[in-house]
């Protein structure tokens, strides 16, 4: 599938929707775009670099509060969202240097705890955050927020498409596959991980602020909701970890389920998301995108086509110079023992 | 042959038995390592001449893997020093050693399993555009005659194929020194011979190769210089013929 | 500020006993499986809720819960190990972590559906108070502490001095070697998972009379148990017991000085600091990261 074409088509559809769709459709799409952005961001660190990230909602929550506080201080929501994004990136930089030295279970625990601590801080520092009461904002017009989210989501899809075909993406994959070996082969894993972590924090920060604007309200339970975290992870896993289209497929599917269940049966919804994650892990760990591409379940990934196309396009070594080391047979030096004592 | 020590002012700074005036890319100087109470390496010294194929053999538990891992930076010795290109790399991380122009393979294949062979190679290229990296990868696959494996997953390859891809991957770094961790272990003689031919070609192209193995036949065939390790000590060194004739080696190994 | 130091100290130690039991089980499982069980907290929460239902609802004596709940938790742990964790043994670690995280979510929400979202207490069980070190302590808390610490120490002795215990330790330290020496790793894993889960269930039973229990109790305690095993050293059993005491005291003092919410966040910050400065843990012998 030609992904840039798909993105253009999506962009066109998203551009038309506000003029033809109902308020309900718009509101549903806002949620969809929000989760699409979160899922693509999670995919970078969780799917490509393979770090089990249970703390994305910490960046989302931080963004929500930074955004809400700035808007409360008189900022327009757009620069407030930018500042929220920046705050999340800075937090990722500060934490990343330390946290990403931890691997596997350690990283998972550290980030899981971070989200809970964020919630505790939002509750505890009630002088700033109003604690459990939450912050109220004056409602903003829905359409510009929708447009901002659409731009973020489309940019992330395109960015992931580029990443998947670039060496940066491959290097993130080497971290997922075997970080020690990658490092021994000269891949600068630490700075790559921190870069990926920062990139993956940018959108959640901005989206958090936009979400607060959209709701015109934020409180600790909403900002740091485990539901946000779980849904995001389930989307990426269901669609396909470390794939270009997986998060989109997962986001669309789960947003529909979310819409049907979340408002009426939140426990049922969250339990179901748990079951979906469990089912995906056990029976379809490669996700829908890979399963469709390979028509096989379980542990088979679909090939990434980008490099192969490049390899087919690169002219064979017919430029006159020899392909790599001199391969012409030369008599082996008869006296190889001269160096020995 | 060795010059008289009196003519060589640096003789006392050199590990015992090293010829003066030769250009060594790798010097292991009196390296020791203990694991708990067990001595794995006991003041082992060796040198690798630039442009040579130098091997270390020894029975299981002789300390050759420990030695290899210390050279590659994966282990830190308790005493002694490692110098690569004259630089002390004893305390360097594996990544830093890699950046000194050292490529390596792994004893148990560590190909990136969920990546294709081409991706395995291109991912670790350094200082190249993507196009250049792909071109280099193609050349290497051609050279090692494994172009057919280009789009296969790392996890799909046979044991011998992995060995070849690992060599290709290490060559992506355009190293001046290649460290090969048991390149001949567990593969059939035909493939062993193929690897020998490739190593020989690489050596003629100026690359230095240093490896450990225990496949005596192939080691005697490929090495310019050979060290025999037993119980953490170098018990013999020299060209294959000399080592084969050494009674100490026969006792420890054959 | 005239802090009631002694009261706080005793309170901290009593809390630490429960943390020791909870974290001990989690640590045991991590040591052998190399997987952090994110559902561990739910065993505790559901254990506490079942205890409330048994004692307050079905009018069963408290000691029945002390036997039935840990046994049920052991069985649940065995089911989790058999049908989820074992099947993911060859998959990347991220899959096991996602799986236990998912199981945790399923259990929390199942518990909310069964018991509702509110808090449930168990008044009238082990009521009254005793004087310990010059401080009045409720019988329930003191009993909980004694049983928790007693069990933790008993498990430690079991690990050190029985054949099965030594097999568990050798699998934790060097699985490859354990296989060579003829230990059935599969059996050891099953036993460990059952034992660790039973410890979480028991902690739930012990907490029910003193703490108000709710379905979300698990994740709050899980973070604390994480903090304990990281400060104590992942995979180090005695380290976890010592760290549990330390963090129990720290939490009580922190809560007194900065309020409950920041007090529990303090544990996390300590954990973070230890993770960054000394990932092996303050007291731990060190686990592979």
Tokens standing for residue C48 = 């506490």
Q: Decide if A105 contacts C36 (C-beta within 8 A).
A: yes
pLDDT, tens digit, 9 for 90 and up, residues C136-159: 777 878 888 888 888 888 888 888
* A334: in domain: no
Q: In Å, what is the CA distance from C261 to each residue of A56, A115, A125, C226, C252?
A: 21, 14, 9, 17, 11
CATH number at residue B212: 3.40.50.300
Can you tell me the mean pLDDT for B39-50? Answer: 90
Question: Rounded to an integer, what distance in angstroms lies between the CA atom of residue A199 and that of residue B16?
Answer: 54
Q: How many domains does chain B have?
A: 1
Grade residue C283 by pLDDT with cuts at 50, 70 and 90. Answer: low
Q: Decide if C279 contacts C233 (C-beta within 8 A).
A: no
Q: End-to-end alpha-carbon separation of chain A, Å?
A: 64
Domain range enclosing C33: 5-118+127-277
- Touching A (3+ Cβ pairs <8 A), the chains are B, C
Q: Which of C58, C38, C158 is nearest to C100 (CA)?
A: C38
* C173: in domain: yes
* A315: in domain: no
Q: Do A124 and C265 touch (CB under 8 A)?
A: yes
Q: Which pTM was predicted?
A: 0.86
Report which secondary-structure segment, H or E, holds A196.
helix A189-215
Q: Sort strands B24-35 and B79-84 into parallel, antiparallel or unpaired.
A: antiparallel
* B2: in domain: no
- Per the rule left: phi > 0, alpha: psi between -120 and 50, beta: everything else, C34 is left
pLDDT, tens digit, 9 for 90 and up, residues A273-301: 889 889 888 888 888 888 787 654 444 45
* A215: in domain: yes
pLDDT, tens digit, 9 for 90 and up, residues B141-164: 999 889 899 888 888 888 889 999
Mutation for testing the A interface, residue in C23, C275, C281 having most A CBs under 10 Å: C275
Residue C208 burial (10 A CB sphere; 0-12, 13-18, 19+): buried
Residues of B (122-181) whose Cβ lies below 8 Å from A: 122-126, 130-131, 133-135, 137-140, 142-143, 150-151, 153-154, 169-171, 173
Total number of residues shown for chain B: 254
Reply yes or no on whether the pLDDT at B20 is more than 60: no
Q: In sequence order, what are the beta bridge partners of C280?
A: none
Q: Decide if A209 contacts A68 (C-beta within 8 A).
A: yes
Domain range enclosing B91: 24-241
Which residues 6+ apart lie within 8 Å of A126 measured at CB? A132, A133
Q: How many domains does chain C have?
A: 1
Reply yes or no on whether the pLDDT at B14 is more than 60: no
- Distance (Å) from the alpha carbon of A207 to chain C's nearest alpha carbon: 24
Q: In sequence order, what are the beta bridge partners of B104?
A: B179
Backbone angles phi, psi at C158, to 5 degrees: -60, -40
Domain range enclosing A203: 3-309
Question: Rounded to an integer, what distance in angstroms lies between the CA atom of residue B146 and that of residue C209?
Answer: 69
- Distance (Å) from the alpha carbon of A59 to chain B's nearest alpha carbon: 30
Range in A158-167, A244-253, C6-15 with the lowest mean pLDDT: C6-15
* A336: in domain: no
Q: End-to-end alpha-carbon separation of chain B, Å?
A: 27
* A330: in domain: no
Q: Quick check: ipTM above 0.90? A: no
Reply yes or no on whether the pLDDT at A58 is more than 80: yes
Chain C contact present for A117, CB below 8 A: yes
Q: How many domains does chain A have?
A: 1
Q: Do C261 and A273 touch (CB under 8 A)?
A: no
pLDDT, tens digit, 9 for 90 and up, residues A105-142: 778 888 888 888 888 888 888 888 888 788 898 888 88
Question: Rounded to an integer, what distance in angstroms lies between the CA atom of residue A174 and that of residue C29?
Answer: 29
Q: Which residues of B touch A177 (CB under 8 A)?
A: 112-115, 154
Tokens standing for residue B26 = 């790798």
Q: In Å, what is the CA distance from A171 to each residue of A190, A193, B123, C103?
A: 11, 10, 5, 32
**DSSP labels, C46-102:** HHHHHHHIIIIIS---HHHHHHHHHHHHHHHHHHHIIIIIGGGTTS-HHHHHHHHHH
Q: Which of B25, B23, B64 is nearest to B228 (CA)?
A: B64
Looking at chain B, the whole-number percentage of residues with pLDDT higher than 70 is: 91
* B233: in domain: yes
Q: Decide if C158 contacts C165 (C-beta within 8 A).
A: yes
Nearest CA in chain A to B50: A339
* A114: in domain: yes
CATH number at residue C266: 1.10.3470
């Amino acid at each position: 599938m030609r992904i840039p074409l798909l993105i253009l088509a999506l962009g066109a559809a998203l551009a038309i929707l506000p003029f033809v769709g109902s308020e309900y459709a718009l509101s549903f799409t806002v949620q969809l775009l929000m989760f699409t952005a979160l899922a693509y961001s999670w995919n970078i660190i969780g799917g490509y670099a393979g770090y089990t990230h249970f703390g994305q909602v910490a960046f989302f929550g931080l963004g929500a509060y930074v955004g809400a506080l700035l808007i409360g201080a008189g900022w327009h929501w757009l620069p407030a969202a930018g500042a929220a994004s920046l705050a999340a990136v800075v937090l990722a930089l500060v934490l990343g240097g330390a946290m990403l030295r931890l691997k596997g279970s350690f990283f998972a625990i550290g980030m899981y705890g971070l989200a809970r601590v964020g919630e505790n801080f939002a509750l505890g520092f009630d002088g700033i955050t109003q604690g459990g009461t939450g912050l109220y904002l004056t409602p903003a017009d829905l359409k510009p927020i929708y447009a901002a989210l659409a731009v973020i989501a489309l940019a992330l899809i395109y960015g992931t498409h580029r990443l998947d075909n670039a060496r940066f993406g491959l290097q993130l994959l080497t971290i997922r596959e075997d970080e020690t070996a990658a490092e021994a082969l000269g891949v600068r894993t630490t700075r790559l991980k921190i870069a990926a972590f920062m990139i993956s924090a940018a959108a959640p920060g901005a989206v958090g602020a936009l979400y607060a604007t959209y709701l015109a309200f934020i409180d600790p339970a909403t900002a740091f909701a485990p539901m946000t975290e779980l849904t995001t992870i389930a989307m990426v896993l269901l669609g396909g970890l470390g794939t270009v289209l997986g998060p989109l497929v997962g986001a669309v599917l789960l947003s529909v389920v979310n819409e049907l269940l979340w408002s009426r049966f939140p426990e049922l919804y969250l339990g179901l998301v748990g079951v979906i994650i469990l089912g995906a892990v056990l029976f379809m760990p490669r996700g829908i995108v890979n399963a469709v591409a390979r028509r096989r379940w379980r542990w088979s990934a679909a090939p990434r086509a980008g490099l192969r196309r490049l390899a087919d396009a690169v002219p064979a070594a017919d430029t006159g110079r020899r392909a790599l080391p001199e391969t012409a047979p030369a008599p082996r030096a008869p006296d190889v023992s001269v160096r020995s004592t | 042959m060795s010059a008289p020590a009196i003519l060589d002012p640096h003789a006392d700074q050199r590990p015992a038995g090293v010829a003066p005036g030769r250009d060594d890319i790798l010097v292991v100087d009196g390296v020791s390592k203990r694991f708990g109470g067990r001595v794995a390496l006991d003041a082992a010294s060796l040198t690798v001449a630039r442009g040579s194929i130098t091997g270390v053999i020894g029975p299981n538990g002789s300390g050759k893997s420990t030695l290899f891992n210390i050279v590659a930076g994966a282990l830190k010795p308790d005493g002694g020093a490692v110098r690569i290109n004259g630089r002390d790399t004893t305390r360097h991380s594996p990544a830093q050693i890699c950046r000194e122009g050292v490529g390596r393979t792994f004893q148990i294949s560590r190909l990136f399993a969920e990546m294709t062979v081409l991706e395995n190679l291109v991912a670790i290229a350094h200082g190249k555009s993507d196009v250049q990296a792909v071109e280099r990868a193609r050349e290497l696959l051609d050279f090692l005659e494994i172009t057919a494996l280009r789009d296969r997953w790392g996890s799909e390859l046979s044991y011998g194929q992995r060995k070849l891809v690992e060599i290709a991957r290490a060559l992506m770094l355009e190293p001046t020194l290649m460290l090969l961790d048991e390149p001949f272990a567990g593969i059939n003689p035909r493939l062993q011979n193929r690897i020998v031919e490739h190593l020989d070609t690489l050596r003629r192209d100026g690359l230095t190769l240093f490896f450990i193995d225990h496949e005596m036949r192939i080691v005697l065939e490929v090495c310019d210089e050979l060290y025999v390790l037993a119980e953490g000590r170098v018990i013999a060194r020299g060209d294959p013929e000399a080592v084969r004739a050494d009674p100490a080696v026969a006792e420890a190994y054959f | 500020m005239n802090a009631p130091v002694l009261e706080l100290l005793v309170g901290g130690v009593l809390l630490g006993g429960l943390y020791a039991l909870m974290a001990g089980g989690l640590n045991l499982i991590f040591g052998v499986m190399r997987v952090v069980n994110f559902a561990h907290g739910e065993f505790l929460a559901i254990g506490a809720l079942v205890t409330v239902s048994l004692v307050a609802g079905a009018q069963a004596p408290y000691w029945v819960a002390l036997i039935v709940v840990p046994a049920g938790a052991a069985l649940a742990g065995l089911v989790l190990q058999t049908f989820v964790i074992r099947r993911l043994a060859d998959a990347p670690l991220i899959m096991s972590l996602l799986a236990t995280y998912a199981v945790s979510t399923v259990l929390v929400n199942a518990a909310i559906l069964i018991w509702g979202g509110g808090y449930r207490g168990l008044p009238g069980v082990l009521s009254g108070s005793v004087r310990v070190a010059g401080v009045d302590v409720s019988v329930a808390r003191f009993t909980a502490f004694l049983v928790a610490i007693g069990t933790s120490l008993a498990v430690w002795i079991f690990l050190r001095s029985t054949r099965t215990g030594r097999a568990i330790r050798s699998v934790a330290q060097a699985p490859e070697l354990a296989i060579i020496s003829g230990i059935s790793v599969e059996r050891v894993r099953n036993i460990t998972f059952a034992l660790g889960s039973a410890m979480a269930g028991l902690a739930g039973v012990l907490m029910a009379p003193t703490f108000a229990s709710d379905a979300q109790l698990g994740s709050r305690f899980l973070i604390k148990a994480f903090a304990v095993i990281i400060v104590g050293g992942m995979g180090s059993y005695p380290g976890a017991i010592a760290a549990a005491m330390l963090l129990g005291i720290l939490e009580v003092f922190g809560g007194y000085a900065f309020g409950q919410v920041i007090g529990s966040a303090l544990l996390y910050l300590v954990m973070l600091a230890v993770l960054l400065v000394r990932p092996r843990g303050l007291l731990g012998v060190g686990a592979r990261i």
